[in-house]
């Protein structure tokens, strides 16, 4: 991985060229909570899928995750701040405009980036996040308590156990992740959604209890549409072939 400094915050990223001689149009990938660029995008073969489709793929480790800086105050993870890391990365690479795809927390960051920096976002793909971008925040705040527990055995809440086990498996910094889940709890108002003029694709698993209705969210965007990922929950939807094909089709047909 490479690293750049965003106002004192080292952010790690990869920058992969297309495997074909096609356009090489850039797409920025923003992973979900307690994940990393590798878990979300490499292990699921997203990077391979996109580079083979002729895209230049940039993917970062969000602050508090993977090889990027670890911070321990909730205010260091406000969604606008995390969107600022993504914007700074594109600027660092000299990319004036990119498609941006985020999953779960990464989708929330993508939406805030599309609203705050419309000049940078050619299109937005929101995976694993539906109407809870507007109504509620998706992941329960109690996950922070599960991350701060002495061990997984001390966590009784099912969702807390799921994310604690996920963080442990990824060797995450539990204190940094607890600060992150407390800091990234901002929503967008319908007026903010309506201000995002870029094409938007919303993709959510039909068995996802976290994201909320993708169709209700897509209807709020001036240029949005939704895709259901059949039979997939929040964790399994990210690598699904239906999701991948929908994204490839979207990238080929969006203005």
Contact 137, 117 (CB under 8 A): no
| Ramachandran bin of 216, using left for φ above 0, alpha for ψ from -120 to 50, beta for the remaining angles | alpha
Contact 43, 76 (CB under 8 A): no
**What pTM does this model have?**
0.97
Among candidate residues 135, 128, 73, 134, the one with its CA nearest the CA of residue 105? 128
pLDDT of residue 59: 98
pLDDT of residue 138: 74
Residues of the chain with pLDDT under 50: none
pLDDT in tens, 188-241: 999 999 999 999 999 999 999 999 999 999 999 999 999 999 999 999 999 999
Residue 224 buriedness (CB in 10 A; 0-12 / 13-18 / 19+)? buried
pLDDT of residue 20: 82
CA distance linking residue 34 with residue 106, whole number of Å: 11
* Beta bridge partner(s), residue 248: none
pLDDT of residue 99: 98
pLDDT of residue 180: 97
Among candidate residues 223, 230, 199, 238, the one with its CA nearest the CA of residue 45? 238
pLDDT of residue 32: 97
């Amino acid at each position: 991985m490479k690293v750049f400094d965003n106002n004192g915050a080292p952010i790690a990223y990869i920058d992969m060229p297309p495997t074909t001689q096609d356009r090489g149009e850039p797409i920025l990938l923003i992973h979900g909570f307690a994940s990393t660029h590798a878990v979300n995008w490499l292990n699921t073969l997203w990077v391979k899928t996109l580079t083979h489709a002729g895209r230049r793929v940039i993917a970062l480790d969000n602050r508090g995750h993977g090889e990027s800086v670890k911070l321990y105050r909730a205010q260091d993870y406000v969604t606008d701040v995390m969107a600022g890391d993504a914007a700074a990365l594109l600027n660092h690479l000299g990319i004036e405009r990119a498609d941006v795809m985020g999953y779960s927390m990464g989708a929330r960051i993508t939406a805030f980036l599309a609203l705050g920096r419309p000049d940078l976002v050619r299109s937005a793909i929101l995976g694993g996040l539906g109407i809870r971008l507007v109504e509620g925040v998706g992941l329960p705040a109690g996950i922070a308590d599960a991350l701060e527990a002495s061990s997984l055995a001390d966590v009784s809440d099912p969702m807390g156990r799921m994310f604690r086990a996920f963080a442990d498996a990824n060797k995450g910094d539990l204190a940094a992740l607890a600060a992150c889940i407390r800091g990234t709890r901002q929503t967008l108002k319908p007026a903010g959604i309506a201000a995002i003029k870029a094409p938007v694709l919303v993709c959510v698993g039909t068995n996802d209890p976290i994201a909320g209705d993708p169709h209700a969210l897509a209807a709020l965007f001036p240029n949005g549409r939704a895709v259901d990922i059949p039979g997939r929950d929040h964790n399994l939807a990210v690598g699904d072939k239906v999701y991948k094909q929908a994204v490839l089709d979207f990238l080929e047909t969006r203005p």
